[in-house]
Amino acid sequence: MSKYIIEGGRRLVGEVPVIGAKNAVLPILAATVINNNTSTIFNTPNLRDVEVMEQILVSIGCKINRVDNVIFVDSRNLSKIKIPEELVREMRSSIILMGAMLTRCGEIVVSYPGGCEIGPRPIDLHLKALRQLGATIEESHGFLHCKAEKLKGCDIQLDFPSVGATENIMLAAVKAEGTTIIRNAAREPEIIDLQNFLNGMGAKIHGAGTSIIRIDGVDNLTSVEHTIIPDRIVAGTYMVASAITGGEVILKNIEVEHIQSIIAKLKETGCMIYNNCTTLKIIGPKKINAIETVQTLPYPGFPTDMQAQMIALLSIANGTSIVTETIFENRFKHVEELVRMGANIKIAGKVAIIKGVKELTGAKVTSKDLRGGAALVLAALAANGTTVIEDTFHIERGYDSLEKDLLALNADIRKV
């Protein structure tokens, strides 16, 4: 298993470009099976999760080419409806293929995605909505066998603005008979990107980014070209890297509109932030201010995918901060590892109480999940001494050039 070895205490300085969003390209790759044609996707990140989704598409008959950050998909010869179980296990968000395959061929067999490191991750909202659209779904022996003679548009009220459920419904409604309205839809920027991709192939979708999305079923779809939006969580992670080291970092090729909640919280910690729409400079303060409260919420609230990184930053603030995780049940696994580095953090249910310490010390720690692992890297950048981070494969699921980018920003990091 690979490890990162990081010598802490160096200010990060320089410029870093931010690549396309993992959580935009995954549903968009699933959507490529719908048009029975070709799709060309630009600005895609090179990640294990993207590779797994590509393998899934190839396993059902798609032809895929990747050149640098461009992925070319030809979905004209689908041959299978059963998604390989080992690939679903590796990446639970492959459940998004249900909506796409029901639209394309009216049938899919997929294994029940297990929970993951951050919680049980149920899919009840997905299944309830697809059944409302006319799908029959049998669950047996750990598999879901979904069929739909004809998908019929309808009004769907989501109990929770689930990102994945919103995406699955959009994909299932593209060619359904009539109109589908999703209420209490997720408003994340990745939903807007999926709408733009689908409309690019001839779908008729409006309202993504708001709580009400309307999909008018269409019959014919064409080939499509699309550029993925920048990854707002990678951008936020690099912003915290600058903040936690008292650095001065410029982020390029970002969408500043998508990271307003992160900007607001980092300003509260004392960071100076200057930006236009696609570039941002962040200067970390000499001493981090504690923040009274950070609460993770559906977009446009503060993102749960930035909770761990924020806790790492606040662990060296002057004062006590409170972070509440309202989205996932078990997303504090990084805390015990940060405590090994000298952080003073107490967990009470969904709440983390972080009493800032003067400095963290390097230690041997283990990443338990994607964003928690990123938080350990950030803590190591600021810690006094050497930190060894085990199981970096978690981190590489969501960051396609973390080590290279941090080295370019003057960090002392190497992978062994």
Chain contacts with ligand EPZ (rule: CB under 6 A): 22-23, 26, 93, 119, 121-126, 160, 162-165, 186, 304-305, 327-328, 370-371, 398
Q: Omega into 300 within 30° of 0, i.e. cis?
A: yes
Q: Tell how strand 212-216 and strand 224-227 pair up.
A: unpaired
Contacts within 8 Å (CB) and 24+ apart, 384-388: 384/8, 384/9, 384/359, 384/360, 385/7, 385/8, 385/361, 386/5, 386/6, 386/7, 386/8, 386/362, 387/4, 387/5, 387/6, 387/8, 387/341, 387/362, 387/363, 388/3, 388/4, 388/5, 388/363, 388/364
CA 283, CA 250: separation in Å to the nearest integer?
Answer: 9
Q: Between residues 36 and 307, which has the closer beta carbon with respect to ligand EPZ?
A: 307
Q: How far is the CB of 198 from ligand EPZ (least distance, A)?
A: 16
Kind and range of the H or E run holding 228 = none
Q: Between residues 121 and 152, which has the closer beta carbon with respect to ligand EPZ?
A: 121
Q: Between residues 167 and 383, which has the closer beta carbon with respect to ligand EPZ?
A: 167
Q: Between residues 128 and 214, which has the closer beta carbon with respect to ligand EPZ?
A: 128
CB atoms within 10 A of CB 89: 15
Q: How far is the CB of 50 from ligand EPZ (least distance, A)?
A: 11
Q: How far is the CB of 232 from ligand EPZ (least distance, A)?
A: 10
Q: How far is the CB of 327 from ligand EPZ (least distance, A)?
A: 5
Q: Between residues 42 and 160, which has the closer beta carbon with respect to ligand EPZ?
A: 160
Q: How far is the CB of 233 from ligand EPZ (least distance, A)?
A: 6
182 phi/psi in degrees, rounded to 5 = -105, 120
Rg (CA), the chain: 21
Indicate the residue type of 288: I
Q: How far is the CB of 162 from ligand EPZ (least distance, A)?
A: 3
Q: Tell how strand 288-289 and strand 272-275 pair up.
A: unpaired
Q: How far is the CB of 415 from ligand EPZ (least distance, A)?
A: 21
Which sign, positive or negative, has the C-alpha torsion 401, 406, 408, 414? negative
Q: How far is the CB of 137 from ligand EPZ (least distance, A)?
A: 13
Query: In the block, which residue shows the tokens 């049938």?
Result: 107
Q: Between residues 233 and 263, which has the closer beta carbon with respect to ligand EPZ?
A: 233
Q: 243: closest CA among 302, 303, 306, 336?
A: 306
204 phi/psi in degrees, rounded to 5 = -125, 90
Residue nearest to ligand EPZ (CB): 164
**Which residue among the candidates 116, 146, 271, 277 is catalytic per the annotation?**
116
Residues 202, 221 contacting (CB under 8 angstroms)? yes
CA 390, CA 363: separation in Å to the nearest integer?
Answer: 11
Q: Between residues 217 and 399, which has the closer beta carbon with respect to ligand EPZ?
A: 399
291 Cβ contact list (under 8 Å, min separation 6): 265, 268, 269, 314, 317, 321
DSSP 266-289: HHHTT-EEEE-SS-EEEE--SSEE
Q: Between residues 14 and 209, which has the closer beta carbon with respect to ligand EPZ?
A: 209
CA 5, CA 371: separation in Å to the nearest integer?
Answer: 18
Q: 324: closest CA among 356, 298, 362, 293?
A: 293
Q: Is 271 one of the annotated active-site residues of the chain?
A: no
Active site members = 116
